[in-house]
Amino acid sequence: MISLWSRFFSTLLVLFGVSTLVFFLIHLVPGDPVQAMLGENAAAADQQALFIALGLDQPLWTQWWRFFSNTLQGDLGTSLYSKEPVTQLILARLPTTALLAVAGLTVAIVLAVPLGSLAALHQNRAWDDVAMTFAMLGVSIPNFLMGPLLILIFALWLAWLPVSGYESLWSLVLPALTLGTALAAILSRMIRATLLEVLHEDYIRTAYAKGLNARQVILRHALPNAALPVITILGLQLGTLLAGAVITEMVFSWPGLGQLTIEAIQRRDYPVVQGCVLLISAVYVVVNSMTDMLYHWLDPRVRYHD
């Protein structure tokens, strides 16, 4: 078993690798931040002065070392476009992205648990076919298509919900459904598969023999014992959830980290892109570590060795 110290150092190594890779990739992408800020018709002298003022005339390795040393001190730099601290920009957008991620995860769990349970209890029958058809559709339809479809139906045709933006909690419904349905499809299939294995165990037959009904058997005995593989999928899919949030935020003009990242890429705002990607990577790594700790709580047989 990997020790806690090894996991900690591997986490730091992953964050270092991601931040370094993103730094060099964003600088290699065609485009000039000076032209994006001043426009193509700006005077060459003005462009050169701004280029030097931003420190972009320095060697790439020098820029990387400045970025790396500042990051170690908790300084993610200043936006090239707005001149605001990157940390401030991220903190301003983080709550709305966190709200969307939690809402999408809630939608996924609310849809997946009953569908997966019904499919397992009614294997090879109508409920099973319905649940697996939903799962297939959820996996097959990407966010950039699901979002406009929901807007077309619920915002334009039925006029029940807002089209885009973040004006009230009602604005959260369509983005959360878009983000949650794909994850719900994966979770429902996993819940079905794990429950089918658990439902054939001896202790399940004993629970039925004691007079418990199907709902009590599922909630008290089957689901807790089938939870570990599902938690694994939740941890691994968090990265997909955050990546999907970028697309979903752009479709619904949701003022979160995804929209901030795309805008920064378009403007070649290097510090903002690096800060956003670094934060998303850190959240992904931390949640996976928390998933491992949750293993220990759910199954005491799981141990770490220092």
Q: Report pLDDT digits (tens) over 43-65.
A: 777 667 767 776 777 787 888 88
Across residues 189-196, what is the average pLDDT? 82
Q: Which tokens belong to 73?
A: 């001190």
Q: Predicted confidence band at 205 (pLDDT cuts at 50, 70, 90)?
A: confident
pLDDT digits (tens, 9 = 90+) for 226-270: 777 777 777 777 766 776 678 888 888 888 888 888 888 888 888
Check if the beta carbon of residue 23 is closer than 8 Å to that of residue 253.
Answer: no
From residue 73, give the alpha-carbon distance in Å to each of 67, 69, 70, 272: 10, 7, 5, 17
Helix pair 86-121, 257-267: axis angle to 10 deg = 130
Q: Which helix (H) or strand (E) holds 114?
A: helix 86-121
Q: Predicted confidence band at 303 (pLDDT cuts at 50, 70, 90)?
A: low
> What's the confidence (pLDDT) of residue 301?
54
> What's the confidence (pLDDT) of residue 305?
47
Block residue for tokens 């990546």: 243
> What's the confidence (pLDDT) of residue 9?
78
Strand partners, 78: 85
191, pLDDT greater than 80: yes
34, pLDDT greater than 80: no
> What's the confidence (pLDDT) of residue 64?
84
> What's the confidence (pLDDT) of residue 1?
45
Q: What is the pTM of this model?
A: 0.78
> What's the confidence (pLDDT) of residue 42?
67
Across residues 257-286, what is the average pLDDT? 83
Q: Predicted confidence band at 298 (pLDDT cuts at 50, 70, 90)?
A: low
Give the chain's mean pLDDT. 79
pLDDT digits (tens, 9 = 90+) for 146-169: 888 888 888 888 888 888 888 888
Q: How many Cβ atoms are within 10 Å of 258's Cβ, its own excluded?
A: 25
> What's the confidence (pLDDT) of residue 306?
44
Core vs surface per residue 106-119: b (16+ CB within 10 A) or e: ebbbebbbebbbbb
Check if the beta carbon of residue 79 is closer than 8 Å to that of residue 269.
Answer: yes
| Stretch among 27-41, 91-105, 145-159, 213-227 having the lowest mean pLDDT | 27-41
Domains and CATH numbers, the chain: 31-75 (no CATH), 89-298 (1.10.3720.10)
> What's the confidence (pLDDT) of residue 243?
64
- Identify which has the larger pLDDT, 273 or 39: 273
pLDDT digits (tens, 9 = 90+) for 70-96: 888 877 888 878 888 888 999 998 888
114, pLDDT greater than 70: yes
